[in-house]
Amino acid sequence: MVLMDGDISRCKTRVDAIEFDAISSWCNSAIQSGGKVVIPLPPGWDPRPRSEHPVPWVDQGPEHFLQPTVKELQNFFQSSIQLTCTNKNITEAQTVIVYAWNENSENGASLIPTIGNGTYYINALSEVLLMFY
């Protein structure tokens, strides 16, 4: 099991107490903690999938979306994967998590084609993955 938490100190304490397998956090303090880490890759937030049927607890509309460029996505993916590859002592699983890859209503910025994005994200990621093989 992997615990995701923004407060790395609290997260490390909980991971040790509950015997989770890894911490998922994108901060350098996670690396410094010495705990097992799975690096998350949240490629952005896109509220457009909820615009036709908004949930009552979210009041942001589709106008709050900025599509990252292919280069921005690739730099983000590459730095995250490189971090995983160069810190094998704590990234034992050699795994990254592309956040919300299937939560289309929460994050349209996903690997699954939604709202006109086609294969934009998966194409950007596939080019980066070739660098690591």
Is 72 within the bounds of a domain? yes
Is 70 within the bounds of a domain? yes
pTM of the model: 0.66
Pick the residue with more confidence: 72 or 20?
72
Is 48 within the bounds of a domain? yes
Is 103 within the bounds of a domain? yes
Is 78 within the bounds of a domain? yes
Is 25 within the bounds of a domain? no
Roughly what angle, to the nearest 10 degrees, separates helices 120-129 and 70-86?
A: 40
% of the chain with per-residue pLDDT over 70:
62
Is 33 within the bounds of a domain? no
- Please tell me the predicted confidence (pLDDT) of residue 130: 92
Is 125 within the bounds of a domain? yes
In degrees, rounded to 5, the angle at the alpha carbon of residue 122 between the alpha carbons of residues 118 and 127 is 130
Q: How many domains does the chain have?
A: 1
| Residue from 122, 111, 104 nearest 48 by CA | 104
Residue 119 is part of which domain span?
Answer: 38-132
- Whether residue 38 has pLDDT greater than 80: yes
Cα gap 107→103, rounded to integer Å: 6
